[in-house]
A = this chain, B = another copy of it.
């Protein structure tokens, strides 16, 4: 039955049926039976054309949704089909900026060239970046040429998600904090394009200047060397007791030279600066291709993703197809009453898995 359901989805995808796309995304999001078959089908259809993935991230209230909405209109005006993934609409403190619903209602509801999907974070922790990338595959395979990935939240998970895009746009606003102070390690390094939105408000110019100084863009400025130094070893910057990320957690490589991230000013509500943003996105894409960075980044991302998929497959096998969960239940009393501990139980389960005793 499940096979027939998946067959139906694959047929629908071939026919470019949006209902099949929505079903495929749900299947993948919930990792139901057959989701990997659908993903393999999509994977065979991505990376060939000129489709581009654009991440938009920033603090709550930065106007990302409005900016995305304007960018969609701009890209539609250029004749592009646009897929949008809005991640984390259920995040408790984002103030209800559920991009998907809003745009769907407002401006693009009858436009088949736009497909918007909100993704909940609940229940998919740990693997959300991978799932987002896989949903982007589905959109690209379906024929969308620009895929916007909006992360409303601002934690590590959201940065990981933004990092799966080819071009990452960081949206800041004058109100979002004490200017440059809010731009801590992990954010400055990730963005390819900076946008100061609501730039007509007090502090807009100052924030822009601070970001530019920090990026070392102002030639002859004493900060330049410092900023470049910070960026070149950025992935090891942090509290002194933090080591470099382990192999599996290593972020996608971001080159520290060759591309000077522009700092743009926009007033998204008035549509100001949107054409500049679209032009900067084009420039960055051209740079990525000409420099070979596009392939390099894709390869690094693919390696991370391959490892994540292996881990997920392994998890599914252990909990669904072996006696490991039963053993956890059996040992729970002993652990709760201190007769053993989680580490000895885990070692025992691993030992049995290795010996083939559990499956």
Instruction: Give the B-binding residues of A (Cβ under 8 A).
Output: 26, 29-31, 36-37, 39-40, 43-44, 47-48, 59, 88-93, 95-96, 118, 120-127, 153-160, 176-178, 181-187, 238-239, 241-249, 298-299, 302-303, 305-307, 309-315, 317-319, 324-325, 328-329, 331-332, 335-336, 338, 341-347, 349-350, 353-354, 356, 359
Contacts and interface: CB of A to CB of B under 8 A. Distances in A.
Given A93-B177, A125-B157, A307-B328, A40 B239 contact: no
Contact of A156 (B157, B177, B242): B157
Given A123-B243, A310-B328, A93 B182 contact: yes
A315 B248 contact: yes
B342 A309 contact: yes
Contacts of A356: 354, 356
24 contacts: A39-B342, A47-B338, A88-B156, A90-B239, A91-B155, A92-B187, A93-B154, A93-B177, A95-B177, A120-B239, A122-B242, A125-B249, A153-B154, A299-B332, A302-B336, A303-B332, A305-B342, A306-B335, A309-B346, A310-B328, A311-B318, A312-B346, A314-B318, A314-B350
Oligomeric state, in number of copies? 2
Given A40-B343, A241-B29, A332-B302, A88 B155 contact: yes
Contacts of A92: 59, 154, 159, 182-187
Contacts of A121: 155-156
B181 A95 contact: yes
A188 B356 CA distance: 44
A110 to B, nearest CB: 22
B126 A59 contact: no
Given A156-B157, A338-B44, A310 B302 contact: no
Contact of A346 (B118, B239, B306): B306
A37 B159 CA distance: 33
A318 B310 contact: yes
A90 B234 CA distance: 13
Contact of A89 (B59, B177, B239, B243): B239
Contact of A324 (B123, B303, B310): B310
B309 A95 contact: no
A343 to B, nearest CB: 4
A140 B323 CA distance: 33
Nearest to A170: B92
Interface-centre pick from A243, A244, A332 (highest chain B CB count, 10 A): A243
B123 A126 contact: no
Contact of A313 (B315, B335, B350): B350
A43 B36 CA distance: 39
B346 A238 contact: no
Given A96-B184, A303-B332, A314-B350, 7 more contacts: A48-B338, A89-B239, A122-B186, A122-B249, A303-B329, A309-B345, A354-B356
A350 to B, nearest CB: 5
Nearest to A120: B242
Contacts of A309: 342-343, 345-346
